[in-house]
């Protein structure tokens, strides 16, 4: 499969359009829908984090997404020119504490847990003003963290 590379602006609608374009490309290359369903979930969470956090308060932020099939896995990289990850590394991705009652449930705190559960070989680096998040989606997700 050729590499699919997309550039997008740091806006929620651009994320949605990019995911739709990637899904069509993956379908066209005959990639197993179960694989791209998982990839789409992870990419959606990661890209929305970039828009919401790394690019917050900026106009004209740049994001690129690159995917390629490597053996049976889908390799992915997200690059953006926004703020670096807090602490310079990946979040721990620990599950947020859950309360006993519905009103006690946290509103967020599940994204990095989900990413670490579904993706393999997660890596982050900051170089020359750009963030790079790389990961792989295997045909059988690890279901245990990154």
8 Å CB contact between 103 and 26 = no
8 Å CB contact between 135 and 122 = yes
For residue range 5-15, list pLDDT tens digits in order.
999 999 999 99
Buried b (16+ CB within 10 A) or exposed e, 98-128: eeeeeeeeeeeeebbbebbbbbeebebeeee
Give the pLDDT confidence score for residue 103 in this predicted structure.
66
- pTM greater than the 0.85 cutoff: yes
Give the pLDDT confidence score for residue 93 in this predicted structure.
75
Q: What's the token pair of residue 7?
A: 């550039």
Give the pLDDT confidence score for residue 12 in this predicted structure.
94
Give the pLDDT confidence score for residue 1 in this predicted structure.
62
Residue ranges, the chain, pLDDT below 70: 1, 96-109, 141-146
| Domains of the chain as residue ranges with CATH | 4-137 (3.30.565.10)
């Amino acid at each position: 499969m050729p590499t699919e590379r997309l550039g997008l602006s740091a806006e929620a609608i651009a994320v949605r359009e990019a995911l739709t374009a990637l899904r069509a490309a993956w379908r066209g290359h005959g990639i197993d829908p179960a694989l791209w369903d998982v990839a789409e979930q992870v990419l959606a969470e990661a890209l929305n984090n970039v828009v919401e956090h790394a690019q917050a308060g900026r106009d004209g932020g740049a994001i690129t997404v690159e995917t390629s099939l490597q053996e049976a896995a889908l390799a992915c990289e997200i690059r953006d020119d926004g703020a670096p990850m807090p602490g310079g590394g990946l979040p721990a991705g620990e599950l947020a504490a859950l309360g006993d009652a519905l009103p006690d449930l946290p509103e967020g705190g599940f994204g990095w847990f989900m990413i670490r559960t579904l993706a393999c070989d997660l890596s982050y680096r900051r170089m020359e003003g750009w963030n790079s998040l790389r990961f792989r989606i295997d045909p059988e997700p690890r279901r245990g963290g990154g």
